Amino acid sequence: MERDSQLELYEAVADRLKEAHTAVRTLQVPEGVRMALTRKLLVITAAAKHDLAGAARRLDRLMKDLDEGRFPEGD
């Protein structure tokens, strides 16, 4: 039973990561900001391998920031 819920969470996070990558790719922001956002998504993706629930929370925060127009500083 626990394995089923873990699999569902994995699928949900994977789908949301795909959506997040698409959202970042289509943003009208400077390239440095896009790169910073992409790095954040890559970190979340890597974290999902070890802490799926934590990665889901980090992805929620990142998407909320994007929705509210809060972007990281570009290099």
pLDDT at 1 over 60: no
**Residues whose CB is less than 8 angstroms from the CB of residue 69 and which lie 6 or more positions away in sequence, other chains included:** none
pLDDT digits (tens, 9 = 90+) for 22-41: 999 999 999 999 999 999 99
End-to-end CA distance of the chain: 45
Q: Would the pLDDT of 52 be above 80?
A: yes
The structure's pTM equals 0.84
CA distance 72 to 36: 7
Q: What angle do CA 64, 25, 44 make, to 5 degrees?
A: 55
